[in-house]
Amino acid sequence: MLGYLYRGQGGVFVDGRRKRAPSPLKLAQMLCRWRPDLTKDTLERIAELGDDQIWAVMDRVPPEFMTETAKQFAFQVVTTSKTELLREAR
């Protein structure tokens, strides 16, 4: 999952010399490092979210919009991203 999250291509370029924009996860990590004053409160709120709360959101999506497999994948994306963001913020 980590490889998937870090390889993902974003659309926000932080430097005009690179051909690829950083992944959304990497961009969020950069922002946490560069501007902790802007991200501190959000990271605290993210830290308070339990996996059960995250799953409850996924579970509310009707099956005609999202399969069970898609829900499990999205859950892994969100929880892995949460872990990485909080690890980076320490």
H or E element, residue 85: helix 68-89
- Distance, in Å, from the CA atom of 31 to the CA atom of 38, rounded to the nearest integer, reads 8
How confident is the model over 24-83, as pLDDT tens digits?
899 899 899 999 999 999 999 999 999 999 999 999 999 999 999 999 999 999 999 999
The pLDDT value given to residue 7: 85
The Cα–Cα gap between 83 and 64 comes to: 29
Q: What is the DSSP letter of 21?
A: P
**What is the domain partition of the chain in residue ranges?**
2-89
Kindly indicate the confidence band of residue 3, based on its pLDDT and cuts at 50, 70 and 90: confident
pLDDT tens for residues 10-25? Answer: 877 777 777 788 888 9
Which pLDDT belongs to residue 22? 85
